[in-house]
Structure 1
Amino acid sequence: MKRLFALCFALLLSTAAHARGYAIQHLEPGNWWVGMRHDRVELLVHGPGIAALAPRVAWDGVTVADVARVENPNYLFVTLAIAPTAKPGRLHIDFMDGERIAVRHPWRLDTREAGSAQRRGFDARDAIYLVTPDRFANADTGNDSAAGMFEHADRADPNGRHGGDIAGMRRHLDYIAGLGFTQLWPMPLLENNQPAYSYHGYAITDLYRTDPRLGSNEDVRALSREARRRGIGLVMDVVLNHIGSQHWWLRDPPTRDWINRADAFVETNHRRTTVQDPHAAPADRALFTDGWFVRSMPDLNQRNPHLARYLIQNTLWWIEYAGLSGIREDTFGYADADFLSAWAQAVLEEYPDFAMVGEEWSANPAIVAHWQHGKANPDGHVPHMPGMLDFPLQIALRSALVQPEGWDSGFIGLYETLANDFVYPDPGRLVVFAENHDSSRVLAQLDGDLALWKLAIAYIATTRGTPQFYYGSEVLLRGPKERNDGLLRADMPGGWRGDAADAFSGRGLTPQQRNAQAFVRALFNWRKRTPVLHDGALQHYAPVDGVYVYFRYDATAGKRGKTVMIALNKNAQPTALALGRFGDFIGTDSRARDALDGQPVVLGTSLLLPAKSATLLEIAPADGAQGE
């Protein structure tokens, strides 16, 4: 009876509030956790005329520490202080009109999972499987289109929504684990209620809501938990630089400076060098960071302190809520540099062993290195980002495979790019890749040459850093040679009922597809059980006549301990590799076996490398143990 009375009373208050024009349309975040280092949570409260009200909380251990009002009377920023002694539970926040409760809104304090702060992020022991969720698998056809969403499913349109969802990823976690991958990175899962091109996820319209055409927030958490049981961590794709043009902030922004250049669309110049360039014109630097990425993606002003706190808290919320093991941060250098430093620092203060990798799409290692934790920058910027995506190495690898071999072309470009590792504070924390959702697939660039494709995949699996692989390439999804996003992000065969072929079961695959899939499975499972590929040192030899050789070895055991030799032969014919040059690692007493099939390999004065191949050998002295 008391509960019924309380519900009736709350309803009466809500009705009265609406009569006076008071109503809360958004209150974010809607919960927090006891025991967080970040224990002062600033709530963004949005509703008509809400600034006229005063917030009040009656809950042991929770107090209103600060209330900030801005130029828009439809906003309040309410800071709650949460004591370590606070009890988890459902509470409410009253918004007072004098002595009268004008609006009562529910809120919640939760209990953290055991060991949450000590979670291990991904590192070089891992391998990442990148997925475009809308194109991977459709396990729930009931959410292909959703009420209130502008864009409905149209699988016939390469740039439309195809219906892939979180349920599809959950269904195929065993497949991903079986390939040897230990991390799953889906492109953004949050609401993208845009009229077109909404499938890719980078024009977010609600930072606390999963897109209903993919699933729910609870589905994200279930995906994370089920993945973890299979030894797979979940990496979230975070966007700090911009939002979608249909975000409700555009209709009622908290402040005039919430969105950069809000009065008229001005596109960024994409000149990422201006951040570090000592000669850059200030106007060019400002246009890079403050211009809109595209017309449908308004640029956020992270210099606004309330927005900065909102974005930091949103990241912490998702890590804690979804049990994430890592973050990939989109368009990293486009955001305000000081904010990026503060954001990464706040995440690592809460989760010291967490993993984050930023996207700085540049062929210049110095530009990428600027953002990595530990870099001493001439401009005084102090970065806290643990890792970065290794675009310089990706660009060099793809160029090396199509260029003719010469004094300054071909493999030498890849060799010299890796030689630039001295500019990085920690090159082992970089994420290496041959292709992703923004590049044409390697197979297309190589005109379908499967042998060279295998060489490229072998390289990312054996060089330093954490490898990232793009879904579907294991069954030779190709797409066009020139970048076309809708086509390169093709549907995974077997992800839709009625597909002629099924990558997950193997049904209907061609012999070439089966061969490629088996190669990826053998390669990454071998990498998974070979520690020297995770944290071993790397020594490479200058490429000669189309052959590039490097070794991964245990620096603590010396160069004649357990070692992996990688010999990349780009030539169209078998090539005899003289071994005398590699005496640091290969002696007369050394034994070798093929890393993938375990067959013994004779090491004489030379080694015959098959045409267009990656030869992967485990090497040990005659009296030493072979690889794991």
Structure 2
Amino acid sequence: MKKLITLFIILLTLNVVGQEVARVEPPNWWTKMKNPDLQLLIYGENISKTDVVIDYPGVTLEATTKVENPNYLFVDLKMAKDVQPGEFEIQFKQGDKVVDSYNFELWDREQGSTNREGFNSSDVIYLITPDRFVNGDTSNDEVEGMKEGLDRDYNYGRHGGDIRGIINSLDYLQDMGFTAVWLNPVLENDMPEASYHGYACTDFYQVDRRYGSNEEYQELNEELDKRGMKLIMDLIFNHCGSEHWWMHDMPMKDWINNYPEMKITSHRRTVNEDPHASEADKKAMVDGWFVSAMPDMNQKNPFLAKYLIQNSIWWVEYVGLEGIRQDTWPYPDKNMMSDWTKQLLEEYPDFNVVGEEWTTNPAIVSYWQKGKLNQDGYKNYAPSMMDFPLQSAVSEGLRNEESFDFGLIQIYNALANDFLYPDPYKLTIFPDNHDMSRFYVQVGEDVDLLKMGVTFFLTTRGIPQIYYGTEILMRHDGSEHGDIRADYPGGWKGDKVNAFTGEGMSDAAKDMQEYVSKIQNWRKNADVIHDGKLMHFVPEDGTYIYFRYSDDEAVMVILNKNAEAKTIKTDRFNEVTNGYKSGKEIISGATISDISEVTVPAKSAFIVELAK
């Protein structure tokens, strides 16, 4: 009999948790959240064979869900409005025995957190690929146990840029007139190769240690706040990295689409809007993998959907973010994307979200913007989207020879499509980004055309974003991503060219840097550029003129593509200029005593503040 009892105890022991709880995600939460519900993902060996016990005033255990993998539990909690910050124990019991526990912390939510102002049209965003900007801490170049180390000679290797380097560079960015920073993803990408870009996340709650720590990410935002600047986080809901920790032990079979067979997406993104699309084609696009190293997450799984939504809210609250840029917007389940934007903005009404829908068709981009009345009844709540149609039009319009259908008229026509958008003034506009050839290269390395393009994006409607290095004429010979995302000069010890000090820079690069700084620092206080209306006039004779105006202010912008100076009579623009007599040109600082006609130098842009 004793032998039977002993055997029974051994068998019972094998059924209990065989190790400490490996993960609780999110790892903490906050009091005073508008949404009282919280779902914890608990991971540990045979954790589902336990019962969860919580005893903390104001915290109610609503449900515990066991799924097909016994190593997971999903625990639903509800927080009372008056729940107090503190720490409580989550116990995991078998019978009367506590076999493991986790101390969960509720933090006090900062006052005013819900009123955080998101990035908007008063901002100019500086986009940084962290690995390629500044190496501020060489001690994290190589991290023991991580799969990929430093290889600065390889264009797809890790080069050592990090959060500390960005913190050290904030005075430069502020002096240049940038008011917001968007970082390509900084979360852990413990992939065996080409992990520098950040888009194959392996831990949604951990900053990649080669970039720094979660605490340094917080510090970055604190330093930005001191300067009145904002931080935008790059998130990816569509996919994770193939080395994500859960890929080795998934909660459910449908956690990942097309697993383990793996099918690449069709990339036919228009199935989201197409009223005639088949379900088979929709599935082929949405459920397919982006690339073989990036498993496609199934946002139709309610547990995964909640996990991703809570993760984004956790980072907003933990770091103090002012915005999120969402990668590959049309690839996740679109109903989940609607739920996410709705819940996020209910928690943070003044927050901003911008999505990447890479198409030159404005009808497709407009489908996703908040307030759009779509034929199929679909509602999304993202205030902003990336304006790829305008980017393409400006690039082509500056490059192409002037004719009836080509040249500056392409820019005009792109803006004429603004009737498709619920709010075109909230779109994020840009000359280039980390996924395309640099704008300087797009316009044939013509500095004059680059200046015209940058001037346009800094003065037209929308929220401008500038990719790091545009201000110093960064270029590339190859067209691969690893070439486009080159190291910023001066970001590494021993660099012969230093854009922060000017050492080794060409006169042309210094001039461009000064040019961008002058416009952006003027723009900081130019309310009419932030909030004014836009009126433009059909391009004529290689010139394009538009105005930003309000009841009390007006700014005239002139783009002259001609190889010679142009004198422009302004009586055609009386709808805006009536009552204005003189002006000041921002770039040169020159005073224009009579605005009845304005002479603009060859291949240049003019920004004229009008005066009565």
Give 1:9's aligned residue.
Answer: none
- Structure 1 residues 511 and 303, CA, compared in 2 at 3 Å: closer, same or farther? same
Task: Write the deviation string for residues 204-261 of structure 1: whole angstroms up to 9, x where unpaired.
Answer: 0000000000001011001001111011111000111110110122111111111011
Task: Write the deviation string for residues 85-116 of structure 1: whole angstroms up to 9, x where unpaired.
Answer: 22212222101111100111121110111210
Matched, 1:513 2:509: yes
**SS in structure 1 opposite 2:482?**
helix
Give 1:329's aligned residue.
Answer: 326
| Aligned partner of 1:500 among 488, 492, 496 | 496
**SS in structure 2 opposite 1:197?**
coil
Give 1:624's aligned residue.
Answer: none
Whole-Å Cα distance in 1 between the matches of residues 306 and 147 of structure 2?
Answer: 30
- Contact between 2:16 and 2:94, CA under 8 Å: does it hold in 1? no
- Contact between 1:240 and 1:329, CA under 8 Å: does it hold in 2? yes
Whole-Å Cα distance in 1 between the matches of residues 473 and 429 of structure 2?
Answer: 20
Q: Identify which range, 333-342 or 592-601, moves more after superposition.
A: 592-601
Give 2:481's aligned residue.
Answer: 485
Task: Write the deviation string for residues 153-202 of structure 1: whole angstroms up to 9, x where unpaired.
Answer: 11111110000000000001111111111111010010000111100101
Give 1:378's aligned residue.
Answer: 375
Task: Write the deviation string for residues 456-494 of structure 1: whole angstroms up to 9, x where unpaired.
Answer: 0001000001100011111111113x6311111111111
Describe how 1:290-329 pairs up with structure 2 within 5 A. 290-329=287-326
| Aligned partner of 1:433 among 402, 424, 430 | 430
- Contact between 1:151 and 1:194, CA under 8 Å: does it hold in 2? yes
Describe how 1:76-475 pairs up with structure 2 within 5 A. 76-475=73-472
**Structure 1, unaligned runs of 5 or more:** 1-15, 622-628
| RMSD, aligned α-carbons | 1.4
Whole-Å Cα distance in 1 between the matches of residues 579 and 549 of structure 2?
Answer: 18
**SS in structure 2 opposite 1:434?**
coil
- Contact between 2:582 and 2:595, CA under 8 Å: does it hold in 1? no
Equivalent AA in structure 2 for residue 83 of structure 1:
A
Shift of 1:270: 1.2
Give 1:609's aligned residue.
Answer: 600
Shift of 1:587: 4.5
Whole-Å Cα distance in 2 between the matches of residues 269 and 517 of structure 1?
Answer: 42
- Contact between 1:124 and 1:535, CA under 8 Å: does it hold in 2? yes
Whole-Å Cα distance in 1 between the matches of residues 601 and 298 of structure 2?
Answer: 54
Whole-Å Cα distance in 2 between the matches of residues 610 and 17 of structure 1?
Answer: 82
- Contact between 2:16 and 2:47, CA under 8 Å: does it hold in 1? no
Structure 1 segments (4+ residues) deviating >6 Å: 16-19
Give 2:7's aligned residue.
Answer: none
- Contact between 2:167 and 2:220, CA under 8 Å: does it hold in 1? yes
Whole-Å Cα distance in 2 between the matches of residues 142 and 280 of structure 1?
Answer: 52
Matched, 1:49 2:40: no
- Contact between 2:16 and 2:49, CA under 8 Å: does it hold in 1? no
- Contact between 1:430 and 1:465, CA under 8 Å: does it hold in 2? yes
Give 2:72's aligned residue.
Answer: 75
- Contact between 2:29 and 2:314, CA under 8 Å: does it hold in 1? yes
Task: Write the deviation string for residues 284-333 of structure 1: whole angstroms up to 9, x where unpaired.
Answer: 22111111111111111100000000000000000000000111111011
Equivalent AA in structure 2 for residue 487 of structure 1:
D
Whole-Å Cα distance in 2 between the matches of residues 446 and 125 of structure 1?
Answer: 27
Whole-Å Cα distance in 1 between the matches of residues 566 and 278 of structure 2?
Answer: 52
| Aligned partner of 1:591 among 564, 569, 582 | 582
Q: TM-score, normalised by structure 2?
A: 0.96
Q: TM-score, normalised by structure 1?
A: 0.94
Shift of 1:60: 1.6
Whole-Å Cα distance in 1 between the matches of residues 560 and 132 of structure 2?
Answer: 34
**SS in structure 2 opposite 1:585?**
helix
Equivalent AA in structure 2 for residue 562 of structure 1:
E
- Contact between 2:182 and 2:232, CA under 8 Å: does it hold in 1? yes
Matched, 1:553 2:549: yes
- Structure 1 residues 73 and 526, CA, compared in 2 at 3 Å: closer, same or farther? same
- Structure 1 residues 513 and 54, CA, compared in 2 at 3 Å: closer, same or farther? same
Provide the aligned length of Structure 1 versus Structure 2: 600
Shift of 1:65: 1.2
Give 1:565's aligned residue.
Answer: 556
**SS in structure 2 opposite 1:287?**
helix
**Structure 2, unaligned runs of 5 or more:** 1-12
- Contact between 1:94 and 1:104, CA under 8 Å: does it hold in 2? yes
- Contact between 1:17 and 1:103, CA under 8 Å: does it hold in 2? no
Whole-Å Cα distance in 1 between the matches of residues 541 and 14 of structure 2?
Answer: 79
- Contact between 1:138 and 1:165, CA under 8 Å: does it hold in 2? yes
- Structure 1 residues 595 and 161, CA, compared in 2 at 3 Å: closer, same or farther? same
Whole-Å Cα distance in 2 between the matches of residues 175 and 230 of structure 1?
Answer: 11
- Contact between 2:29 and 2:106, CA under 8 Å: does it hold in 1? yes
Equivalent AA in structure 2 for residue 596 of structure 1:
I
Give 1:65's aligned residue.
Answer: 62
Whole-Å Cα distance in 2 between the matches of residues 194 and 255 of structure 1?
Answer: 23
- Contact between 1:90 and 1:108, CA under 8 Å: does it hold in 2? yes
- Contact between 1:22 and 1:102, CA under 8 Å: does it hold in 2? no
Shift of 1:22: 4.5
Q: Identify which range, 568-577 or 45-54, moves more after superposition.
A: 568-577
Task: Write the deviation string for residues 48-70 of structure 1: whole angstroms up to 9, x where unpaired.
Answer: 11111111112221221111111
Give 2:473's aligned residue.
Answer: 476
Whole-Å Cα distance in 2 between the matches of residues 317 and 140 of structure 1?
Answer: 26
Whole-Å Cα distance in 2 between the matches of residues 84 and 605 of structure 1?
Answer: 63
Give 1:30's aligned residue.
Answer: 27
Shift of 1:579: 1.9
